[in-house]
Amino acid sequence: MRSALGWVLLALGTAAAAQTSAPPADTATYSNPELHFTFEYPAELHPMKPQDLPGSSRAARFSNDPDVGTSDNLEAGQCSKRLLTVGETGAGPEGKAWASISLVEIEPGCIPAKALKSRHQMDLMLMPLVHSSTQVLGMMPMGPAVQYPVQNHRIYMSAAQGQPVQPTDLQNLQGPESVATLATQVQDRIVSWRIETNSMHLLNRILAGKVDFGAGSPEMLYPGHLGGDTAF
């Protein structure tokens, strides 16, 4: 026979499990049935046209970095398909916080066949891709590019923080911001996230969003925390 304390602990455990399994009220979910892939992100980020997304670091990249051209080619034109573009320009209490997410699918025809068959070759392709995507004039890396497992998928990530400037006149475009690029192979495609924000709180909320590749329980996009002296 259970004691009164045992019943209380059981009830608390059941309530905690229910809270854990229920989706957070402040998140929205992107779902792609073709790729059997879902991704949670902050609900205040709403659909926007790519050209209207807040953030300026894409236009402020180093123009003389040969790797940047490679990543741009993969993420533009016939090679890519935009899956999600959401942003928010006034999420903070003072209406000054902003963030954007651009989720892109890289088509199989733009991926070397050997990379789809070899983990090592995929490493050689995606590590430089995410690294070059965060090479922005005026911004400093928040650590080396890394890779880590999420539901048996290898996620590649790079992040930078600082004040992006135009390489032409070295004028600051806006205040401090953070940018993170992540990529992973999903079936015969590559899915890439580009996150830009002036709020570390928003950045960590986005990175804490659950992803599901249909290979177990949903997991955080990045199982860590960025900010201050904490990098990867």
**Residue 127 maps to which CATH number?**
3.40.1000
How many angstroms separate the CA atoms of 94 and 113, rounded? 49
pLDDT at 32: 95
Please tell me the distance from the alpha carbon of residue 225 to that of residue 232, in angstroms, as a whole number.
Answer: 8
**Domain contains 231:** no
pLDDT band at 154 (very low <50, low <70, confident <90, very high): very high
The residue-averaged pLDDT of 29-48 equals 94
In degrees, rounded to 5, the angle at the alpha carbon of residue 117 between the alpha carbons of residues 111 and 119 is 95
Residue 151 lies in a domain: yes
Residue with tokens 């490679």: 70
Domain contains 63: yes
214 in a domain, yes or no?
Answer: yes
Query: What does the pLDDT read at residue 91?
Result: 54
Candidates 115, 156, 108; CA nearest to 132 is 156
Is residue 78 situated within a structural domain?
yes
Identify whether 56 is part of a domain: yes
The count of domains in the chain is: 1
Return the CA Rg of the chain.
19
| Interatomic CA distance for residues 167 and 164, integer angstroms | 9
Check: pTM over 0.85? Answer yes or no. no
Task: Assess if residue 36 is contained within a domain.
Answer: yes
- Kindly state whether residue 14 falls inside one of the protein's structural domains: no
Provide the 3-class DSSP secondary structure of residue 80: strand
For the record, the structure tokens of 137 come out as 């004039």
The per-residue pLDDT of the chain, averaged, comes to 77
Structural domain containing residue 179? 25-220
